Structure 1
Amino acid sequence: MHHPAAMNHPPSFSPLSLSDQATHWKMIAVLVGTIVLAVSSRIEVPMYPVPVTMQTFAVTMIGALYGWRLGGITVLTWLGEAAMGAPVLAGGAGGLAHFAGPTGGYLASFPIIAALTGFLAEKGWNGGRVWLAFLAMSLANVLCLLIGASWLATFTGVEKAIVLGVTPFLIGAVLKSALGAVILRQWTRYKAV
């Protein structure tokens, strides 16, 4: 027999259970998330015009762990820091010019893909279902590449945008999605113990 309170409170989609936390803990989570995003931006393989970084991995993980609302807010806060000139983007860059340059579409996609991953995680595409978690992160990565390449095409043309802004990132997208799904699965198992 189920306890009545348990029936009204479904299990959390995330091992962090941030949706159940007080506002000050959510604010701390946003701060920690922006730090994680800034650090992930420093892990890069320089390429032109778009470097390979761990940003998309961090963005999708924050979405999956924080949920669509808090994940989106965290990524928007990080982008706000970047717009104000904080050195939180790839290679320690910051400033509004990056939002208008070749990488602007990828930056614009980040809150969208965090929200998408978070939304799907809340619907059960999380560590409890590793293949669905992988699919959620893969969809988010593909969406990032499509939005980013669409913007990049205004600078390079469509063919070059695909060659420079999509193709080199496909294997990385699959690997980052797999890594994210495995981490979510292990974290969910650990939390359940």
Structure 2
Amino acid sequence: MTSMLATAVRGFDPLGIARRSLATQAVLLVFGTALLALASRISVPMVPVPITLQTFALTMIGVLYGWRLGALTVLAWLGEAMIGLPVLANGAGGLAPFVGPTAGYLAAFPIVAALAGFLAEKGWAGERVVLSFSAHLLANLLCLAIGGAWLAYLIGAEKGLVLGVVPFILGAVLKSALAAAVLMAVGRRANKSLDL
């Protein structure tokens, strides 16, 4: 029995999420939240927003899990943070991050995973490296736009752009390139497995 969380036909599905049972998808969701918590711990402290591997993990989960399960996984991880588990950057948890400088980025995270997953389902992943890179970069830039807009509301447009967007653009490009390369390798490996 497949879950309604995964689409019936996906353009890129190396993990076979579309045909997994609801129980397996629930396990993958829990694993995904743990992966996001780990990615949040890999951080370069900056003020007011740290650089982390969160967006890399977000887009990868969106692509590998599909947009529905990917977004649900991110929402579950944010729920863990809201109840106080230390799963966000620098071990943060509780409600404070959801009203402070990082709130816009946190609000964008499920959208980022969904966008990356949706584009992957349309074929923007795997062997199509340029499209894969573009999907990840679009998702990262959307995150920066939403997060930067919230930060601009809090501290002003110029400061929001200088502190919340510009320092993260190069990282977005590098993470997008890494994600495209990893997904190309995953896609090739999945295709070899299917050819046997």
With normalisation by structure 2, the TM-score equals 0.92
Measured in 1, the distance between the counterparts of 2:84 and 2:149 equals: 25
Aligned to 2:134: 135
Measured in 2, the distance between the counterparts of 1:140 and 1:112 equals: 8
Aligned to 1:74: 73
Q: Closer, same or farther in 2 for the Cα pair 1:153/1:25, shift >3 Å?
A: same
Measured in 1, the distance between the counterparts of 2:83 and 2:152 equals: 26
Alpha-carbon distance, 1:65 to partner: 0.4
Measured in 1, the distance between the counterparts of 2:9 and 2:68 equals: 18
Counterpart code for 2:94? G
Measured in 2, the distance between the counterparts of 1:107 and 1:189 equals: 32
Cα pair 2:62 2:116 within 8 Å, conserved: yes
Cα pair 1:14 1:126 within 8 Å, conserved: no
Aligned to 1:183: 182
Spell out, residue by residue over 1:157-176, the C-alpha distance to the aligned partner (whole angstroms, 9 max, x if none): 00000000000000000000
Q: Closer, same or farther in 2 for the Cα pair 1:11/1:141, shift >3 Å?
A: closer
* Within-5 A mapping of 1:1-193: 13-193=12-192
Structure 1 moving runs of 4+ over 6 Å: none
Measured in 2, the distance between the counterparts of 1:133 and 1:10 equals: 18
Runs of at least 5 residues in structure 2 that lack an aligned partner in the other structure: 1-7
Describe the SS at the equivalent of 1:40: helix
Measured in 2, the distance between the counterparts of 1:47 and 1:117 equals: 26
Aligned to 1:6: none
Measured in 1, the distance between the counterparts of 2:104 and 2:10 equals: 36
Q: Closer, same or farther in 2 for the Cα pair 1:11/1:160, shift >3 Å?
A: closer
Spell out, residue by residue over 1:94-150, the C-alpha distance to the aligned partner (whole angstroms, 9 max, x if none): 001110000000000000010000000000001131111100000000000000000
Measured in 2, the distance between the counterparts of 1:12 and 1:103 equals: 33
Runs of at least 5 residues in structure 1 that lack an aligned partner in the other structure: 1-8
Q: Aligned-residue CA RMSD in angstroms?
A: 1.1
